[in-house]
Structure 1
Amino acid sequence: MVRWIRVLYSDFESFTEDQEMLIMAENSFDYIEGFVIINRTGILNNWRASFKPQDPVQASHFQSDGRVLYCLELTKNFNSGDTDTMEQEVAVLLSRLRFIQSTLFHTDVTYLEFLDRVHTSELKLRAQSLWEVPHPWLNLLIPRSSIRRFATEVFGRILKDSNNGPILLYPVNKSKWDNKTSVVIPDEEIFYLVGFLSSAPSLSGHGSIAHAMSLNSQIVEFCEEADIGMKQYLAHYTTQEQWKTHFGARWETFERRKHRYDPLAILAPGQRIFPKASLPLSL
Structure 2
Amino acid sequence: MHPSILSILIIITTALSITSAAYKPAAPEIKTDPASLSKGSTDYGNIVHEIPAGVAYPSSEKDVVELIRASHASAEGPFAVAARGRGHSVRGQAMAGGGVVVDMTALGREKKRIRIDLEGMYADVGGEQLWIDVLRETVAEGVAPVSWTDYVYLSVGGTLSNAGISGQAFMHGPQISNVVELDVVTGKGEFMTCSRTRNPELFFGVLGGLGQFGIITRARIILDKAPIRVKWAKLLYSDFTAFTRDQEHLISNNASNYVEGFIVTNENAASDWTSSSPSRKSDVAALIKKQGVLYSIELVKYYDNYTAATIDQEFETLLKELKYMSGYNVTTDASFVEFISRVGDLDNGTPPLPSHPWLNLFIPKSSIVEFNAGVLAGMLPKLNDPKLNETFGIFIFYPFNRNKWDDRMTAVVPDEEVFYTLAALHTTPQDGYKSIDEFNNDILEFCKSRGLNVKQYLPNIKSKKEWIDHFGSKWETVEKRKAMFDPENILSPGQRIFN
**Same fold (TM > 0.5):** yes
Equivalent residue for 2:356, pick from 131, 135, 141? 135
Asked if 1:245 corresponds to 2:473, the answer is no
- The number of aligned residues is 260
Contact conserved, 2:395 with 2:422, CA < 8 A, in 1? yes
Aligned CA distance change for structure 1 residues 130 and 86 (closer, same or farther; 3 Å): farther
Q: Does 1:118 align with 2:339?
A: no
Q: What residue in structure 1 maps to residue 76 of structure 2? A: none
- The answer on whether the counterparts of 1:158 and 1:218 sit within 8 Å (CA) in structure 2 is no
2:327 paired with 1:102 = yes
Q: How does 1:158-177 map to 2 (within 5 A)?
A: 158-162=379-383, 164-177=392-405
| Alpha-carbon distance between aligned partners in 1 of 2:305 and 2:362, rounded to the nearest angstrom | 38
Q: How far apart in 1 are the matches of 2:351 and 2:233?
A: 27
Give runs of aligned pairs for residues 44-193 of structure 1, distance below 5 A.
Answer: 44=271, 48=275, 62-65=283-286, 66=289, 67-79=292-304, 82-119=307-344, 122=346, 126=349, 132-162=353-383, 164-193=392-421
CA distance in 1, matches of 2:369, 2:474: 27
Structural mapping, 1:195-234, within 5 Å: 195-201=423-429, 203=431, 208-234=432-458
Q: 1:268 to 1:219 in 2, by over 3 A?
A: same
Please report how far the alpha carbon of residue 237 of structure 1 lies from its aligned counterpart in structure 2 after TM superposition.
Answer: 1.3
Aligned residue for 1:134, secondary structure, equals coil
Q: Which consecutive residues of structure 2, in runs of 5 or more, have no partner in the other structure?
A: 1-228, 385-391
Matched, 1:5 2:247: no
Change (3 A) 1:190 1:45: closer
Cα deviation, 1:6-52, whole Å, max 9, x if unaligned, reads 110000011001101111104x111111000113258246775xxxx
- 1:25 aligned to 2:253? yes
C-alpha distance in 2 between matches for 1:118 and 1:188: 31
Higher helix share: 1
Task: Give the match's secondary structure for 1:149.
Answer: helix
Q: Is the 8 A contact 2:447 2:454 kept in 1?
A: yes
Secondary structure of 1:109's aligned partner: strand
CA drift of 1:130 comes to 9.5
- C-alpha displacement at 1:83, in angstroms? 3.7
Q: More displaced, 35-44 or 161-170? A: 35-44
Distance 1:64 1:47, change over 3 A: closer
Partner of 1:281: none
Q: What's the counterpart of residue 265 of structure 2?
A: 38
- Give 5+ residue unaligned stretches, structure 1: 276-283
Offset at 1:181?
Answer: 1.0
Q: Deviations over 1:163-205 (max 9, x none)?
A: 63000000001111121211111111110011000000365xx
Instruction: State the shift of 1:64 in Å.
Output: 3.2
Partner of 1:106, secondary structure, is strand
Decide whether aligned partners of structure 1 residues 241 and 119 sit closer, same or farther in structure 2, where only a CA change above 3 A counts. Answer: same
Distance across 2 between alignment mates of 1:131 and 1:227: 40
Distance 1:14 1:219 in 2: 24
Question: 8 Å contact 2:365–2:418 — kept in the other structure?
Answer: yes
- Give the Cα separation in 1 of the matches to 2:412 and 2:450: 19
Tell whether the 8 Å contact from 1:137 to 1:195 is kept in structure 2 after alignment.
yes
Aligned-partner SS, 2:378 = helix
Amino acid paired to 2:329: L
Percentage of matched positions with identical amino acids: 37
SS in 2 for 1:102: coil
Distance 2:475 2:424 in 1: 27
* Higher Cα radius of gyration: 2
Q: Structure 1 CA distance, aligned partners of 2:487 and 2:245?
A: 46
Q: Distance in 1 between matches of 2:269 and 2:358?
A: 25
Cα RMSD for the two superposed structures: 2.5
